[in-house]
């Protein structure tokens, strides 16, 4: 009887440990979506985009996102190359917020504030692969536990990378809270250079952003709560122009949330168009979210990347569609609070052409 009791206890204890730790030991793999000469590589470590290979106007193939040669590079990364960011992307001022009368304190991993979900956000965990078809889609899931990085409630998260037609890539991000209301703001953090990841800076590339306002920030990049028009300022990309054309007016480079025009959360609206003249590549982006963070990789400082190429300041641009930064502390910003029974949904669609 004692032997049986010990056996059952040991089996139960092993099952308990597995439930709480097996995910951490899940194998890290790389998955390639491929259709013709368009391919995307993704790993279940951080649901991270590793490469996007596209033809130029002459059919020459290039990888147009920055990254590393090995998964170990992403594990030691501080740039968030290609990562799926959460539970709350961007910054939360003072590393705290109040919800339903309770103050939640978070890891202060960025000058006293919380950046990209904390010191170990969703881009630093191993996701589970639920479905994979090479010429179609990859679906990954992650179960975020109550109190993870200080956030309330259990949260089920899912992201699908999907080919649409011959030249479009969609990201469908969903999240469902189980037992508590919680803020959710997922984002994709790919660094784009349409000339190729190793082609130099992006300052001569042309961009048009369909956002007529921004949310101004302080010196720690925390919004001050205002919403300001861009017209006539260095932030004005309502008409296409080169990224570097008014850089002298923006000390340090662009790292700002644009308030997108004509967004209602239910329909996709155009976010931006980026063009690179030498390759002829063009990238168009749509989303259902109200904001986009335009970032010109200002903090890249001689980072050794793919093939040994060294990435420097302005080596790429990010267009991170999102809710507004620090929304949890600004009641006038669109709410990011998702309640049990509700589903958070964030869609991005990229269209790539070359001519």
Annotated ligand binding at 191? The verdict is yes
Q: What is the DSSP letter of 20?
A: H
Q: Which of 208, 229, 226 is nearest to 217 (CA)?
A: 226
What is the spatial distance between Cα 273 and Cα 336, in angstroms, rounded to a whole number? 26
- What are the Cα distances from residue 159, in Å, to 84, 93, 139, 166, 285? 9, 27, 6, 21, 17
Annotated ligand binding at 198? The verdict is no
293: region left, alpha or beta (phi > 0 left; psi from -120 to 50 alpha):
beta
Are 175 and 329 in contact by the 8 Å Cβ rule? The answer is no
Are 86 and 171 in contact by the 8 Å Cβ rule? The answer is no
Token couple for 321: 């569609």
Options 148, 158, 276, 320, the catalytic residue = 320
Q: How far is CA 355 from the centre of its chain?
A: 28
Annotated ligand binding at 146? The verdict is no
What is the spatial distance between Cα 32 and Cα 188, in angstroms, rounded to a whole number? 18
Options 189, 197, 330, 346, the catalytic residue = 189
Largest CA distance in the chain: 83
90: region left, alpha or beta (phi > 0 left; psi from -120 to 50 alpha):
left
Number of neighbours of residue 179 by Cβ within 10 angstroms: 11
Active site residue 320: yes
Q: Sign of torsion, CA 80 83 86 90?
A: positive
Annotated ligand binding at 255? The verdict is yes
What is the spatial distance between Cα 212 and Cα 230, in angstroms, rounded to a whole number? 6
Q: Sign of torsion, CA 324 337 182 178?
A: negative
Annotated ligand binding at 314? The verdict is no
Are 315 and 200 in contact by the 8 Å Cβ rule? The answer is yes
Active site residue 189: yes
**Start-end of H helices in 263-313:** none
Annotated ligand binding at 204? The verdict is no
Are 158 and 140 in contact by the 8 Å Cβ rule? The answer is yes
Which residue positions form the known binding site?
Answer: 90-91, 189-191, 255
Which residue positions form the known binding site for beta-D-galactose?
Answer: 90-91, 189-191, 255
Q: Which residues are catalytic?
A: 189, 320
């Amino acid at each position: 009887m004692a032997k049986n009791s010990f056996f059952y206890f040991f089996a139960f204890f092993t099952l308990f440990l597995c439930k709480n730790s097996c995910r951490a030991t899940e194998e890290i793999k790389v998955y390639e979506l491929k259709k013709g000469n368009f391919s995307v590589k993704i790993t279940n470590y951080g649901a991270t985009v590793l490469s996007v290979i596209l033809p130029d106007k002459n059919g020459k193939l290039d990888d147009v996102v920055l990254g590393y040669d090995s998964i170990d590079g992403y594990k030691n990364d501080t740039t968030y190359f290609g990562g799926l960011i959460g539970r709350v992307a961007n910054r939360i001022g003072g590393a705290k917020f109040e919800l339903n009368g309770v103050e939640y304190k978070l890891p202060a991993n960025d000058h006293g504030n919380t950046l990209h979900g904390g010191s170990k956000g969703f881009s630093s965990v191993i996701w589970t692969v639920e479905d994979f078809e090479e010429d179609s889609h990859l679906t990954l899931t992650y179960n975020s536990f109550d109190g993870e990085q200080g956030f309330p409630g259990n949260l089920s998260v899912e992201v699908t990378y999907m080919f649409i037609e011959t030249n479009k890539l969609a990201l469908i991000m969903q999240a469902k809270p189980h037992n508590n209301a919680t803020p959710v703001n997922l984002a994709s953090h790919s660094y784009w250079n349409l000339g190729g990841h190793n082609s130099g800076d992006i300052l001569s590339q042309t961009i048009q952003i369909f956002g007529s306002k921004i949310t101004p920030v302080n010196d720690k990049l925390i919004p001050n709560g205002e919403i300001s028009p861009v017209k006539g300022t260095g932030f004005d990309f309502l008409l296409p122009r080169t990224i570097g054309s008014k850089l002298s007016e923006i000390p340090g480079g662009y790292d700002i949330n644009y308030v997108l025009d004509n967004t209602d959360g239910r329909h996709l609206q155009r976010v931006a168009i980026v063009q690179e003249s030498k390759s002829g590549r063009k990238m168009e982006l749509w989303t259902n979210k109200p904001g986009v963070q335009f970032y010109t990789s200002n903090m890249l400082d001689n980072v050794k990347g793919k093939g040994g190429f060294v990435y420097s300041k302005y080596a790429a641009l990010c267009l991170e569609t999102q809710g507004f930064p620090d929304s949890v502390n600004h009641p006038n910003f669109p709410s990011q609070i998702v309640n049990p029974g509700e589903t958070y949904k964030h869609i991005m669609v990229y269209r790539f052409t070359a001519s």
